[in-house]
Amino acid sequence: MESLAAEKEFPSKAVTEKVIACCMEVHSALGPGLLESVYEEALGHEFKLRGIIYERQKEIGLKYKGISIGNHRLDYLVENEVILELKAVEAMNRIFEAQLLTYLKALNKKVGLLVNFNVEHLRSGIKRLVL
């Protein structure tokens, strides 16, 4: 029963914990101040080393009232469960959260992580969003 309650309160908790651990490992090794693409590359390698299943730069189709209006790419879909969007910015913008929520809706997923690597301590750069 306890695990069911935890899953309702924190969906995909096990996967998000793995993702955060990988992000922390990458941030510990590289530190802040690099391009987003560098962190993305390193994170893909860390996922491989840990045997984590992921899709990088996954293309998603966007629709409006039943018609296709274009495609967009998200940084990572991890374990077909958690959407991960990476940033390397001085300050987070609320539009990044809106973008992640759009991706969650488009793929019918419940949990997304928004991670900004351009911070001194990574914990302060992680935002978990749940639909």
Beta strands at 111-116 and 82-87: parallel, antiparallel or unpaired: parallel
Give, as one character, the DSSP assignment of residue 110: S
Distance CA 70, CA 124 (A): 33
DSSP SS3 for 113:
strand
Give, as one character, the DSSP assignment of residue 51: T
DSSP SS3 for 125:
helix
**Per-residue confidence band for 1, with pLDDT thresholds at 50, 70 and 90:** very low
Q: How many domains does the chain have?
A: 1
pLDDT reading at 5 higher than 80: no
pTM of the full structure:
0.89
What tens digit of pLDDT does each residue of 93-110 get?
999 999 999 999 999 999
The confidence score (pLDDT) of residue 63 equals 84
For 69, the domain range is 2-130
The confidence score (pLDDT) of residue 11 equals 77
How many CB atoms are located within 10 Å of the residue 18 CB? Answer: 18
What tens digit of pLDDT does each residue of 59-74 get?
998 888 989 999 989 9
Q: What are phi and psi of 89, to 5 degrees?
A: -125, 160
**Per-residue confidence band for 2, with pLDDT thresholds at 50, 70 and 90:** very low
Q: Where are the alpha helices (DSSP H) in the chain?
A: 2-9, 13-30, 36-49, 94-107
Distance CA 20, CA 114 (A): 10
The confidence score (pLDDT) of residue 9 equals 66
What tens digit of pLDDT does each residue of 21-79 get?
999 999 999 999 999 999 999 999 999 999 999 999 999 988 889 899 999 899 999 99
The structure tokens 């879909």 sit at 77
